[in-house]
Chain A
Amino acid sequence: MALTGIRVVEIAGLAPAPMAGMILSDFGANVIRIDRTKQTETVDRLARGKRSIAVDLKSKEGANVVKRLSSNSDVLIEPYRPGVMERLGLGPDILMKDNPALVYARLSGFGQSGPYKGVAGHDINYLATSGVLSTLGKYKENPIAPINLVADFAGGGTLCSLGVLMALFNRTKTGKGQIVDVSMTEGAAYVASWLWRSQNLQLCWPTKIRGRNLLDTGAPFYNTYETQDGKYMAVGAIEPQFYALLLKGLGLTEENMPGPQIDIRKWPEMQKLFSDVFAKKTQAEWIELFGDSDACVSPILTLEGAATDVHNEARGSFMRNENGSYEPRPAPLLSETPGITEVKSDPNIGEHTEEVLQEFGYSKDEIDHLIKNDIVEKL
């Protein structure tokens, strides 16, 4: 696989760092998650294929275990507030002196510097600080963060993986690792770069008001509509030729419409008209009616519905896990060296403690000593 042979030490965290670890694992890396001792449950829901070793990081001997692991690894991912790793004696200065080829990824909300560094926060705060949150939401409603997708996962975990991969690529030329400072605030902003770069495009941003523009629920032809059976359809008919097909499918003509497609003053009225029409048929009827036409009208599927949709099934977009539920297959698809195609199981905390230590050259005596003194824990 693309990352076969790459060893990753992931210091256990909430969601962003586990996402980064999961992506690397999905593409073949050997990911070892360092869990705290004295806990039985992990919060990591992105743990497939990882191995778990439980270490008491607060003890000097525990820190030494992590040092030894990282001195023989390619990547380390840490999710703590700036300074915590340093306090544990595991800062980049120390670990990279030992292993100059180490890619040391630091994944935080506000980054390793700046006045907010180290302040507690969550996705919604990083998204707010990035400026992006101010653009999301409907007219006259408060800004709405899309759960924790944009800062935690897009600008956080995924961008962290991108940074790690770039650093690994650079290392093939230079032999040297480096620090990757991933700030979820910056990541969210960068992923949304287009928002800044497109501000003077009249078509996209006719007003400066949230929820009154082309793509932010302002336009009736770029919106969602409820169907007769309480489900929803997504409409994305921006281009005139697609808009014409939308009208056709809805049984409307240009004459029916209160105004031409881009008359923004008539948008609220047009939205009401579309709403009324969509409410007259069920989701299944609309799917049938629009078929595979180029109207850009498609169903809004539930999480379960997406997994079993005929298109997604054909692509194997979702994998089934041991519990019978579905999870997305790694993206993108690489033709020669794809990611995993089936779900490896989550590790239990400490399930691989002994195995991992052995792999890193610890003798049985050393391992027994560590276990006996609660430096590490095994399942």
Chain B
Amino acid sequence: MILSGVKVIEFAGLAPGPFAGMVLADYGADVIVIERTQSAMPRPPSLARGKRSIMLNLKDKEGIKVANRLCENADVLIEPFRPGVMEKFGLGPDELLKNNPKLIYARMTGFGQSGSYSKMAGHDINYLGMTGLLSKLGREGGKPTAPLNLMADFAGGGLMCAMGVILALLERTKSGRGQVIDASMVDGASYIGSWIYQTKDAPYLWPIGDELGKNLLDTGSPFYDTYQTKDNKFMAVGAIEPQFYQQLINGLGLTDEDVPGQVDLDKWPETKKIFADVFRSKTQSEWCKVFDGVDACVTPVLTLEGAAQHSHNQTRKTFLTNEDGDAEPRPAPLLLRTPGVNYVKPNPVTGQHTEVVLKEVGYSQSEIDELIKNEVVKSETVKSML
């Protein structure tokens, strides 16, 4: 696979770091998660598929030595801590890169390694708030609404971090050297939203730019929004271009006389109401029959389970099935010659691979036993859970 042979040491964190690690694991990297032995919050194993887990006591000098040894021969390190924490552990980039100049040291934070907020706690909603993008998301008359934690934690966070790692790996094939990646979720989310900044003064996109939910793509327009169906499901309408809008009108059984003009902004609320009434007259599957295969840009809003069962997604194998029988998205994008995983590897039990990983970097069984005895490391084999 693309990242076969690439060794990643991931210091366990909440969501962004683990997602970056998961992307790398999905494309073949050997990702070892370092979990802390005295962690206050147990890690929910949500993004750990295919990784290996070792438990270390990072507050113990011996534990730091173990971490050092793991990083000596690693290609990539991902850490999610506030700036300065790794340095306090004696695992900062200066030291680790000195020992291993080809190491790619990725630092995944909300606010970045510098700047006045860099030591502050925060979550996705705070980081997104700092980009300016959150101020544009929400319905008319309402308040800014963060789209869960997709934009900062995952898109601008883990995804951007993974991209930086691949960039650095690629660059390293030329230079032979690693480097530090300062992955800030504020920066990442902003960058992904570049187009919003670039187009904010375009009158056709943002006719009432300083108000929420009154513009082309932010639920202001009647032809770019969701509508409720008779059976309390929803359809998504994205009929921007005139030819698609025409198909939308046709499919709704309306004529040009029934509705105000597409670009009659003042009448958008009126048109919306007309569309809403029509959409409520049929069920979601009835609307699908009307619009499937038609170029109206009208598609069902599928639930998480529904998406996995939809015929299009099934044909594309967009979803994999895990051992519990539940669906989860298949790695994207599809590289045809060297794709990512096509099945769901199991989540490791915390500390499941402590011994095998230590052996891989040259520890003897007696050294390992000593480390376990002194609670420098912890080992949880699957057997011991029975």
Pairing of A with B: yes
Alpha-carbon distance between A329 and B188 when the two chains are bound, in angstroms: 9
Question: Contact at A149–B196, with CB atoms within 8 Å?
Answer: yes
Task: Indicate whether A162 sits within 8 Å of B166 (C-beta atoms), given known contacts A135-B304, A172-B173, A225-B143.
Answer: yes
Question: Contact at A154–B147, with CB atoms within 8 Å?
Answer: no
A141 within 8 A of B: yes
Question: Contact at A144–B130, with CB atoms within 8 Å?
Answer: no
A307 within 8 A of B: yes
Closest B residue by C-beta to A27: B167
How many chain B residues touch the partner (CB < 8 A)?
145
Alpha-carbon distance between A194 and B300 when the two chains are bound, in angstroms: 22
B187 within 8 A of A: yes
Task: Indicate whether A110 sits within 8 Å of B312 (C-beta atoms), given known contacts A166-B27, A178-B336, A317-B190.
Answer: yes
Question: Contact at A234–B134, with CB atoms within 8 Å?
Answer: yes
Which of B125, B126, B133, B202: most chain A Cβ within 10 A? Answer: B125
Question: Contact at A149–B193, with CB atoms within 8 Å?
Answer: yes
**Which parts of A330-366 form the interface with B (CB within 8 Å)?**
330-337
Task: Indicate whether A311 sits within 8 Å of B117 (C-beta atoms), given known contacts A160-B333, A178-B338.
Answer: yes
Residues on B with beta carbons closer than 8 Å to the beta carbon of A335:
179-182
Q: Which of A2, A153, A176, A183 contacts B333 (CB 8 A)?
A: A183
B236 within 8 A of A: yes
From DSSP, what is the main secondary structure of chain B's interface residues?
A: mixed
Closest A residue by C-beta to B49: A197
B119 within 8 A of A: yes
Q: Mark A95-122, 1 if CB is under 8 A from B, else 0.
A: 0000000000000001101111001111
B36 within 8 A of A: no
B123 within 8 A of A: yes
Alpha-carbon distance between A134 and B306 when the two chains are bound, in angstroms: 10
**Which parts of B106-124 form the interface with A (CB within 8 Å)?**
106, 111-112, 114-124
Q: Which of B61-69, B154-162, B253-261, B362-370 lies at the interface with chain A?
A: B154-162
Q: Mark A206-221, 1 if CB is under 8 A from B, else 0.
A: 0000000001110000
A45 within 8 A of B: yes
Closest B residue by C-beta to A193: B329
Residues on A with beta carbons closer than 8 Å to the beta carbon of B143:
224-226, 232
**Which parts of A186-232 form the interface with B (CB within 8 Å)?**
186-187, 189-199, 201, 215-217, 222-226, 232
Q: Which of B52-60, B221-229, B373-381 lies at the interface with chain A?
A: B221-229
Alpha-carbon distance between A60 and B197 when the two chains are bound, in angstroms: 38
Q: Which of A23, A152, A155, A292 contacts B332 (CB 8 A)?
A: A155
B183 within 8 A of A: yes
A249 within 8 A of B: no
Given contacts A169-B2, A187-B332, 10 further A-B contacts (CB under 8 A): A131-B307, A145-B219, A154-B151, A176-B337, A180-B333, A194-B154, A216-B148, A301-B130, A331-B188, A332-B187
Q: List 23 A-B contacts (CB under 8 A).
A: A45-B199, A45-B202, A114-B311, A122-B224, A134-B301, A134-B303, A136-B147, A143-B236, A149-B192, A178-B336, A183-B316, A189-B318, A191-B154, A196-B326, A197-B49, A201-B46, A236-B122, A236-B124, A301-B132, A314-B114, A327-B197, A330-B191, A335-B182
- 4 pairs of A and B residues whose beta carbons are closest in the complex: A131-B307, A306-B132, A236-B123, A122-B238
- A interface vs B, CB < 8 Å? 2-3, 15, 19, 22-23, 27, 45-46, 110-111, 113-116, 119-125, 127-138, 141-150, 152-155, 158-163, 165-170, 172, 176, 178-183, 185-187, 189-199, 201, 215-217, 222-226, 232-236, 238-239, 242, 292-307, 309-312, 314-315, 317-318, 325-337
